[in-house]
Chains A and B, each alone.
Chain A
Amino acid sequence: MPIDCRHIRNFSIIAHIDHGKSTLADRLLEHTGTVEKRQLKEQMLDDMELERQRGITIKARAVRMEYRHEGELYELNLIDTPGHVDFHYEVSRSLACCEGAVLLVDAFQGVEAQTMANAYAAINTDLTIVPVINKIDLTYARVDEVLVEMEQSLGIEPDDVIKASAKAGIGIDTLLAAIVERIPPPQGDPNATLRAMVFDSHYDSYRGAITYIRILDGTVRKGQKIRFLRTGVSHEVIELGQFVPQRRGCEELVAGQVGYLVCNIKDVKQVHIGDTVTIPGDQGAAALPGYKPPQRMVYCGLYPSEGENFEELRDALEKLAINDPSFEYAPESSEALGFGFRCGFLGLLHMEIIQQRLEKESDLDLVQTAPNVTYQILTTAGETLEITNPQDVPESGEIEEFRQPIVRTNFIVPAEYIGPVMQLCTDRRATYLKTEYLSPTRAVLSFDLPLAEVIYDLHDKLKSVTKGYGTMDYEMLGYFPADLVRLDILVGGKKVDALSIICDRRDADRRGRAIVKKLRGEIDRHMFEVALQAAIGTRIIARETISALRKNVTAKCYGGDISRKKKLWAKQKEGKKRMKSIGSVDIPQKAFMAVLDTGTDRQ
């Protein structure tokens, strides 16, 4: 007998990083008897090793729990969301599958930037918020102040807030009861035409793509034919079921339920997050609103440090892309680095995650170029170009308008750091919007900033000027015209394409000086003098010189010395082999990141 919607609750947990989301999820699994305590690996939902290492949830997961409340049995579906801004779209799709969200706030840290960003996303999706203060058993818990912050920033009624400690198991039953009582049951007619939303997918080497869906209307059964509206392709449902938390098959899923489909789809790229699933033919339901293709905001070049490993790198990237449709790569070549790939990511964190996986899973030695955002250029011919590589910037005469992405950024900082954060943003050509106080001691500062500045070093700098207490979050506003130029770097008189950057014309001198200075520290002395120059077009704007090597000779070379020395020389030789040669100048791999790391130049 199909389950009645009234006995289903679909919800997410939303929180700032490290506020205890994974621990709370584990506790819910345990209290509902979904997973026994001894089976519970720490942070059950983050099942990728990397996620556990970093303490963040990257891929959404959906777990079905059973909970008995006042004699009635309820199906609780916990849809886990990635909390980071890079995965903003995925978060929005996951939230769209829920009727409620548990908003988790750390009793010491209080409301932070991602707390607000995620809470607003949930409120905008019309979800019922179940607010929770976590870690109330901490010695330094400041529950009353955090209640004020939650009220000030998000309008949350203090009386509604559940006080809990996921770690100690305090307040978990109260929370489970509140989930049932406060969050409305899903709407939907099990007898209507099938309409379901895809909110995630993953790749299983035996079963192919596993598609995560929320049924909005109708019923889907094993063996049934279904259709994905994006691709228009129909498939047979080979298996369907729910995660408990491992996959458990069933015969049907009805309106209101959350589960998965296996349809013999070999490529996860054919499964689009936000897509609509319905029946084949022209009787199908209309597409759900809100679908967006993944938007890559950050690009960088990845090159094998030994040219012959190009094929291996391609295989490794392909493997990663199978499990992550939002990651994109395309072959490109650089005079300096040879053959490699231009890779697109949702954001910086996404880029780091992909790189770490690549290193872990493929054992390849890679050279990475400094990341850049995507720019738009309107040419004099009236064409709009999407620029993902600084090399593709046309001659200045052909540029009508050069546009860069701007993000609206919120900082939450203790009041004493407002000044330094203002300075930080002003230096980065931010437009100040407003300051709001969460409490007498904490404030929210809002700015519009170029995304390029954000990925450059803003997060690190924020942490350093606020002694670690400041947090930030941002959302994309769009592309806006700016006075941008391409800055080229010349080594020994030869342009190194992989070192070019796009920056604001007013910053070009400073950036150029900082880069050549940094490079001077990265490139070893050669037998000859090496000139390092920064240029806009043909105009040189900065120069440094690496003087020729004057003396490098081993003093003692007796009995056993030569064996030791040979090892040193061999090591140097190995290092040299991994360097990239521009003309006769050897450039170490990490120098290609030098254009990013100019933090010492500007406070």
Chain B
Amino acid sequence: MEPALAASGGMDAESEAGIERTQAWRAEVSVRRYGTGNPEPGWASRPELLAYSDFMPGSPRHAYVHVPFCRHRCGYCDFTLVAGRDDLIDRYFEAVARELERVRQPLETDTLYLGGGTPSHLGPDGLRRLFGLLSTKLGRAADAEVTVEANPLDVTAEFVAAATECGVTRVSLGGQSLDAATLRALDRDHVPAHVRAAVARLLDAGLVVNLDLMTAAPGQALAAVEADLAAAVALGVQHVSVYCLTWEQGTAFETARRRGDLRPVDETLEGAMFELAIDRLEAAGYEHYEVSNFGRPGYRCRHNEAYWDCRPWEAFGPGAARFDGRTRITNHRSATTWITKMLAGEDATGDIDEMTAEQAARERLVVGLRRRAGIDRAVFLAASGYEFNQLVGSTVAGWAAAGLATDDGVTVRLTRAGLLVSDSLWADVLTT
């Protein structure tokens, strides 16, 4: 920062020139601070990361776009979204266009992921418009994976046609359950038939389909989870994500729980549901490759794997987080605030998680151990610059002794028991 400029900015701040200069100075500081104004130095100024060039190309090869619109807010959801505010969609597009200006040279992406909210809520035309905007800055490699999240109700023939036309290769369907009672308990606006129809339509169009299933819904029994898993397998989807319901602060569910109107299922039953999912899906030929994710061989979500490899990625939209290998910058989580700030040319950053090399290494450990493949010591050293044993050797030895992890000297994996209680392990790994 130029102190002289800051000082004079204060003196003639009333004048137009002063305001302009102050704004320019702020933008400059913002760029320096967040390192995102210019992708070149921003992403590549860290030689310690660049040393592993196969992991770390000069610019990110993965991008996420957050679409915050929903028809209605489900009671358990605490994602960044607005329900019933379709009037904001035009301004949202404008804001995304603004944010894309951050990218000076178009990126070539291996994976592109549209999440939400409900990206499918934009409809066929909205989807075309968004992909049109993105194409100016986000190019795609030949075999790029392009995922769009969809609500079963939105998956019309027209929508599928638009998706295919836009180069979408994969659709993640928020089915949650194939049981009417569970769907009602989860406050969803679709019924099982919608899920079946949507899956059929997507598979027919040659798209890869992920189906989200939820467990531990209020009142859900183990048998209902069993039925959902069987139904998902029968539908022939290539990928299944199984999420245990999380009672997030500030959601309608959590408020109802506090009042005693809703009761979470017992922790032991939650565990049984989780284990049942692993057993049934593995038996059906799906690989359990991360806590909540199951894919048929060759159908893992490459985009999510980039997150867990701690590769850098770009991200756009409210609440979206981007990462350069060290620093994670999350946009403002309120959709309306983000739009307003973007359009006003103001800083729309919500949170900055800046790590030291060691902190980044420790984070890599956590996301790595959530994967069933675990962590290979050599790969870890190459990617993080840290010797695994030096960092957490004795801690992990303790886990192994307690039956929570296995270690053959090369690879460390959590056992199923360890995975089940893994959140209780991370405090021993992460430093503050």
Q: How far does the Cβ of B410 sit from chain A's closest Cβ, in whole Å?
A: 24
Query: Among the listed A553, A566, A569, A576, which residue makes an inter-chain contact with B291, where contact means beta carbons less than 8 Å apart?
Result: A553
Do B292 and A555 touch (CB < 8 A)? Answer: yes
| Cα–Cα, bound, A527→B403 (Å) | 11
Do A563 and B291 touch (CB < 8 A)? Answer: no
Q: Given A550-B270, A552-B421, A553-B423, answer yes or no on A558-B430 (Cβ-Cβ < 8 Å).
A: no
A433 within 8 Å of B by Cβ?
no
Q: How large is the interface on B (under 10, 10 to 19, 20 to 34, 35 or more residues)?
A: 35 or more
Instruction: Digitize A568-589: 1 where CB-to-B-CB distance is under 8 Å, 0 elsewhere.
Output: 0110111010000000000000
Q: Given A563-B351, A574-B432, A576-B427, answer yes or no on A553-B307 (Cβ-Cβ < 8 Å).
A: no
A574 CB contacts on chain B under 8 angstroms? 432
Do B430 and A566 touch (CB < 8 A)? Answer: yes
User: Could you list some 21 contacts between A and B, CB below 8 A?
Assistant: A527-B421, A550-B421, A551-B271, A551-B420, A552-B423, A553-B291, A555-B292, A557-B291, A557-B367, A558-B304, A558-B307, A559-B323, A560-B320, A560-B328, A562-B363, A562-B366, A563-B321, A569-B426, A572-B427, A573-B432, A576-B427
A554 within 8 Å of B by Cβ?
yes
| Cα–Cα, bound, A574→B421 (Å) | 19
| Cα–Cα, bound, A562→B270 (Å) | 22
A123 within 8 Å of B by Cβ?
no
Instruction: Digitize A191-213: 1 where CB-to-B-CB distance is under 8 Å, 0 elsewhere.
Output: 00000000000000000000000
Q: How far does the Cβ of B82 sit from chain A's closest Cβ, in whole Å?
A: 18
A602 CB contacts on chain B under 8 angstroms? none
Name, among A551, A554, A556, A558, the residue most crowded by chain B CB atoms within 10 Å (CB to CB): A551
- Nearest neighbor of A574 in chain B, beta-carbon distance: B432
Closest 6 CB pairs of A and B: A560-B321, A551-B271, A573-B427, A563-B353, A555-B243, A550-B271
Q: Given A558-B307, A559-B307, A573-B432, answer yes or no on A553-B367 (Cβ-Cβ < 8 Å).
A: no
Do A562 and B244 touch (CB < 8 A)? Answer: no
A168 within 8 Å of B by Cβ?
no
A549 within 8 Å of B by Cβ?
yes
Q: How far does the Cβ of A99 sit from chain B's closest Cβ, in whole Å?
A: 60
B424 within 8 Å of A by Cβ?
yes
Instruction: Digitize B308-340: 1 where CB-to-A-CB distance is under 8 Å, 0 elsewhere.
Output: 100001010001110100001010000000000
A562 CB contacts on chain B under 8 angstroms? 328, 363, 366-367
Q: How far does the Cβ of B72 sit from chain A's closest Cβ, in whole Å?
A: 20
Q: How far does the Cβ of A367 sit from chain B's closest Cβ, in whole Å?
A: 21
| Cα–Cα, bound, A559→B305 (Å) | 10
Query: Among the listed B268, B313, B315, which residue makes an inter-chain contact with A550, where contact means beta carbons less than 8 Å apart?
Result: B268
| Cα–Cα, bound, A563→B402 (Å) | 28
Do A559 and B320 touch (CB < 8 A)? Answer: yes
| Cα–Cα, bound, A215→B307 (Å) | 82
B186 within 8 Å of A by Cβ?
no
- Nearest neighbor of A549 in chain B, beta-carbon distance: B421
Instruction: Digitize B222-254: 1 where CB-to-A-CB distance is under 8 Å, 0 elsewhere.
Output: 000000000000000000000110100000000
- Nearest neighbor of B62 in chain A, beta-carbon distance: A559
- Nearest neighbor of A548 in chain B, beta-carbon distance: B421
A553 CB contacts on chain B under 8 angstroms? 244, 274, 291, 419-423
| Cα–Cα, bound, A557→B292 (Å) | 9
Q: How large is the interface on A (under 10, 10 to 19, 20 to 34, 35 or more residues)?
A: 20 to 34
Do B430 and A556 touch (CB < 8 A)? Answer: no
B313 CB contacts on chain A under 8 angstroms? 559
Instruction: Digitize B68-88: 1 where CB-to-A-CB distance is under 8 Å, 0 elsewhere.
Output: 000000000000000000000
B426 CB contacts on chain A under 8 angstroms? 569
Do A551 and B274 touch (CB < 8 A)? Answer: yes
- Nearest neighbor of B428 in chain A, beta-carbon distance: A573
| Cα–Cα, bound, A165→B304 (Å) | 74
B300 within 8 Å of A by Cβ?
no
B64 within 8 Å of A by Cβ?
yes
- Nearest neighbor of A575 in chain B, beta-carbon distance: B427
Do A556 and B243 touch (CB < 8 A)? Answer: yes
Instruction: Digitize B324-366: 1 where CB-to-A-CB distance is under 8 Å, 0 elsewhere.
Output: 0000101000000000000000000001010000000001001
| Cα–Cα, bound, A572→B321 (Å) | 23
Q: Given A559-B307, A562-B366, A573-B432, answer yes or no on A549-B424 (Cβ-Cβ < 8 Å).
A: yes
A573 CB contacts on chain B under 8 angstroms? 427, 430, 432
Do B422 and A559 touch (CB < 8 A)? Answer: no
Do A550 and B430 touch (CB < 8 A)? Answer: no
- Nearest neighbor of B353 in chain A, beta-carbon distance: A563
B351 CB contacts on chain A under 8 angstroms? 563
- Nearest neighbor of B268 in chain A, beta-carbon distance: A550
B427 CB contacts on chain A under 8 angstroms? 569, 572-573, 576
**Which A residues between 125 and 180 are near B, CB-CB below 8 angstroms?**
none
**Which A residues between 74 and 121 are near B, CB-CB below 8 angstroms?**
none
Do B244 and A566 touch (CB < 8 A)? Answer: no
| Cα–Cα, bound, A573→B292 (Å) | 24
Q: How far does the Cβ of B367 sit from chain A's closest Cβ, in whole Å?
A: 6
| Cα–Cα, bound, A551→B422 (Å) | 8
Instruction: Digitize A458-494: 1 where CB-to-B-CB distance is under 8 Å, 0 elsewhere.
Output: 0000000000000000000000000000000000000
Name, among A553, A562, A566, A570, the residue most crowded by chain B CB atoms within 10 Å (CB to CB): A553
B268 CB contacts on chain A under 8 angstroms? 550-551
Q: How far does the Cβ of B22 sit from chain A's closest Cβ, in whole Å?
A: 30
